[in-house]
Each structure stands twice: as structure tokens, then as C-alpha cells.
Structure 1
Amino acid sequence: MTRLLDPRSVRELATRLGLRPTKQRGQNFVVDANTVRRIVTTAGVTADDVVLEIGPGLGSLTLALLDAAAGVVAVEIDELLAGALPATVADRSPEHADALTVVTADALAVRTLPRTPTRVVANLPYNVSVPVLLHLLETFPDWRHGLVMVQAEVADRLAAGPGSRTYGVPSAKMAWWAETARVGSVPAAVFWPVPNVESGLVRITRRPPPETTADRAHVFAVIDAAFAQRRKMLRSALAGLAGSSAAASEALTAAGVDPTARGETLDVAAFARIAERLPVTPGPRART
């Protein structure tokens, strides 16, 4: 039977490894067994799933995933943690040791995996959560469902819809790939070290992108420009891409969008319509 990690065992593992968690890599480890059980249940992991986990750390979530899935592919950038994870699983869940595959790499650089994932479940490092998610959606098209734990503020942005105060670049770009929904909160107290922010759970369900003749890179360039200066009307925000405010207004009108509207009011389908009518050249990038 799998023995999940608790606060004492997490600290013992860290001490044995000589580990000092770093903010640079967003290393905050879950120390509460009930939390990882809840994540696995909410994620809907089944015995047929091969789960892709990013940033497994000391293995708190990994152990719970192995209890439910056919296999886990864990991508870990920290060589010390990646090297220790198989031994932790062999010690605490020996019957699942062969179901774990560890890839020592930066998740943003991974292009191939030893097994094809069907689901993504991860406690994502706060500082790279959005770029990692967008990379996984673009690079590994076979996974259809996911659940990620991210900083609460990021969870709100990922799940926001047009017109929301938190709607922005992450919201619009995620909507190209998938439906998202915030499905829970996680208190800071279940982590070690304890972060100074709460966390949120976001469910991801992949869907086809909008029907459009524009490619994704062009649509994303329009999104970046639209949100580079949130207070600007779209005719001004897109002037750099169109060549002038007048040209931007013409493209927006042709796309059925009010030139005086602002980016936060548009859904991804509207951005796609704009991209179809707007020649895209390098422009300002919004902060994700």
C-alpha cells in the first residue's frame, strides 16, 4: 500500500538530500496527504491514464497519481529531485515503481516524451505556470484533460471570461486550446515552505480552436497587442500591427468589432476574426 508523504517525511527527505527550496524554481512542496488525494480525485484520473506531471518535487503528488493511474511521466528540472524520485517511489509505493518515468529537463524545452500522456496533473511552479501550460497544449496534442494547481491569481486569470476584471492574455490564449474552469482553492498551509499566496485548482478540457483562416501565431500576436496597454481602444492598440489607427479601424470593422472596444471585451473567436483581416508584423507583447 502506498504511503503518502506527510510534513515529517517531506522534511526528512529534504534534509537527507541537503535540499534548500528555491524561489527561483518555485519550489513549494505539498505536505498534506488529503490535498493530493483531493487533486487526483478532482482530476478524474483513471486506471487507463498516463499522467504527465510537471515539477514533481519530492513526490507528494506523484505517489497519489501512481495509486490511480496506469503510469506517470514526471518532468523535473532539478537534477537532485529527479534523481531522488524513483527511490522515494520504490520505498513508499514499491508496487508502482515500474509505472514511473522521470524526465530530467526544463518543461519549457521538452519536445518529446517516452510515453504519450492522456492527462496532465501538476502543481505548477508559480513563476512559469502559464508558459508551461501553453507549451504543453501546443506540443503534446494527445492529452485531452488536465488539472493544475497554480497561484490563486493565475487561476483566476486562466479561467476568466471576456469582460471579467481578470481577463487578459492568459485567458484568451488558453481559450484557443481549451475550456478552463476554476474548481477549488488550496490554502498556503499545506505547503512547505509556506508561500505568501493561496493556490487555485484549474480544470482544463481541450477543444478545437476557433474556425479561422488565421494561424495561431497571428492570432496570439493580435492578443498580445490588444492587451499591451489595457486602457487603449483596439484601434489604437492594434495600430502598430496595422500600420496606422485608420487601417486598424478598417480591419476591426471588417471583423465585426467596434474599433473603440477594448481587448478585455473580446473572446478568442473575435481575435481570430481580427487576425484574418489584419496583416501581423512584430508588435508589443503583453505580459502574461
Structure 2
Amino acid sequence: MTLLGPAEIRELAASLGIRPTKQLGQNFVHDPNTVRRIVRAAELTGEDVALEVGPGLGSLTLGLLEAAKTVCAVEIDPVLAKALPGTAARFAPEHADRLHVIEGDALRAEVDQEPTALVANLPYNVAVPVVLHLLATLPSLRKGLVMVQKEVADRLVAGPGGRVYGVPSVKLAWYATSKLAGKVPPSVFWPVPNVDSGLVAFTRREPPAGADRKATFAVVDAAFAQRRKTLRAALAGWAGGPDVAERILRAAAVDPGARGEQLTVQDFARIASQRQVRA
């Protein structure tokens, strides 16, 4: 199998008439060592069905084909989607039959497989919605390794108490434990982005016992919509008034004078549960 370097990437793009667009967040990896690093960090086994969102020209796809039982690649660009099987046949002929391509938007496409691992270089502009949507809709996903903008990576893995802790942090924590798995420099992409990228590894876990996801996420959204306010004030609209919010918070063993950035996902789940009890 041959991984794609700068020459192969530019040759493929030229043959397809592809010019990377910011609208689709297209930055193609052209460094084989980075691909190997991502695949190694994903810790795939021969039984894994890898889900790749935004395979582009196929840089990471080729590495995944060697490591996984099946690679399900979801590509929104019809030209790239149609070209991907040919790229696999050319550069990884011994594993090309492992590839399954779905043309469409990952936020809407129906994945007719049961993927066990999400491994992807995600477009910066949709990274968080894609990760959360796939975890919500594909219970078979047990783990993942995604490359996102470094700033987004920091937000996703942040714990309570920090300035970057917010809605993405809490919502990912509902589904999984997560950690940073390294930084990726701009130089490995074409075109070169003006920001660093980061790798986020996650492992699915059970959500807080007895909690409702939609109800909990509604609390999270309300708390961080006015993150500088105390929870008593920030949740007033959600609860039906500041006094009601305070009663719910105290019943959930949460200080009404605290702020959302101080709470864990378990705290938010308890708040949501108390409102349901008092409804």
C-alpha cells in the first residue's frame, strides 16, 4: 500500500479538477507520517468498522483500510465521493474491498453500517456538531480519534473550572471520556491552514444514571448562554423565574451562586432531573 504524499495529492486534485474550498473546510493531509500517527493513536483492531467523515482525496482512508475490518467514508463532495474507490484500488488494491463510500452530509446521511470507531480529519466549521450528532445517533460507536482545530480540541476535552470549558466540553462528557492525543502542525496540510490542529481521543461511557439527555442539554445551553451570570440568574428563563431556579438548584445540591463553568455533566443532569420532578 502507498500512502499519499504532496505529489500524489496534487496529482489527484488536478485530475479531478478539485480546488479546496473554505466552505467545505477542505484541507488535505499530504504527510504519510501524520496519517500513520493518527491510525496508530486510534488503536484500531481488525474487527473495527471505522467511520471516516470527510475523507477528501483519501489520505487517511488509505491508512484506515490497512488497520480496520471496514472503512465507511462519508463525503459531501460528489466528485470526491465518486473518486475515492478508484484511489483505494490504485494505492491499496489488497484492501480496496474494505471501503464503503456514502455520498452526503454527515449530519444527515444514513450510515448503513454499525461503525465502532470514528476516525476523521474533520472540517473545522462542523467538527463539534458532527461528533455530537454521530455519538447521539450511532450507539455502536465505542471510541474515536478526530483531528480538529486546536482551539476546538482544547474546548472538547476541557474540565470544569477553566475558561475554555463550555457547551462542547459538557456535551461530549455526556457520551464519553476524552483526552488530547497530540498537536498537528499546519505544514502537513494542503492548502496550509492558519491554525494548528489537535487530536482528540474519546471512549464512550454510560451517561449519568437516570438522566435525560435532551433535558440535560437544555440546562447546559441555558447556563452557558449567559456564562458570566450566576446559575440562579442564568437559569431563570429556563426554570420559570430566579426563585424557581434557586429551589431547583438547591434540591440538586448545586450552589445557586455558582456559574456553569464550575459544574460537571453530572451536576447538570441532577438539575435537569430536579426540574422534571417539580414539573
Query: What TM-score do the two structures reach when normalised by structure 2?
Result: 0.97
Shift of 1:106: 0.3
* Matched-pair contact (CA < 8 Å) for 1:255–1:273: yes
What is aligned with 2:243?
A: 246
Q: 1:54, 1:80 → 2: CA distance?
A: 15
Q: 1:166, 1:277 → 2: CA distance?
A: 27
From 233, 240, 257, the equivalent of 2:254 is 257
Q: Counterparts of 1:15-94 in structure 2 under 5 Å?
A: 15-94=14-93
Q: 1:58, 1:134 → 2: CA distance?
A: 25
From 198, 206, 209, the equivalent of 1:208 is 206
For residues 189-245 of structure 1, give each alpha carbon's deviation from its aligned partner in whole angstroms, at most 9, with x where no partner exists. 000000001000000100000013x41111000000000011010000000011111
Question: Structure 2 unaligned runs (5+)?
Answer: none
Q: 1:113, 1:259 → 2: CA distance?
A: 43
Shift of 1:279: 5.2
Q: 1:30, 1:254 → 2: CA distance?
A: 51
Shift of 1:254: 0.6
* Matched-pair contact (CA < 8 Å) for 1:210–1:272: yes
Q: Counterparts of 1:1-288 in structure 2 under 5 Å?
A: 2-110=1-109, 112-212=110-210, 214-278=211-275
For residues 74-104 of structure 1, give each alpha carbon's deviation from its aligned partner in whole angstroms, at most 9, with x where no partner exists. 0000001001100011111111111100000
Q: 1:97, 1:183 → 2: CA distance?
A: 28
What is aligned with 1:286?
A: none
Shift of 1:117: 0.8
Q: 2:247, 2:228 → 1: CA distance?
A: 20
* Matched-pair contact (CA < 8 Å) for 1:241–1:279: no
* Matched-pair contact (CA < 8 Å) for 1:218–1:275: yes
The RMSD of aligned alpha carbons is 1.1
Task: Please list every run of at least 4 consecutive aligned residues from structure 1 whose deviation after the TM superposition is greater than 4 angstroms.
Answer: none
What is aligned with 1:283?
A: none
Shift of 1:71: 1.2
For residues 126-184 of structure 1, give each alpha carbon's deviation from its aligned partner in whole angstroms, at most 9, with x where no partner exists. 00000000111011101211100000000000000011221000000001000010110
Secondary structure of 1:73's counterpart equals: strand
Query: What TM-score do the two structures reach when normalised by structure 1?
Result: 0.94
Matched residue count: 277
Q: 1:98, 1:87 → 2: CA distance?
A: 11
Shift of 1:115: 2.2
Q: 2:107, 2:35 → 1: CA distance?
A: 24
Secondary structure of 2:95's counterpart equals: helix
Q: 1:58, 1:229 → 2: CA distance?
A: 41
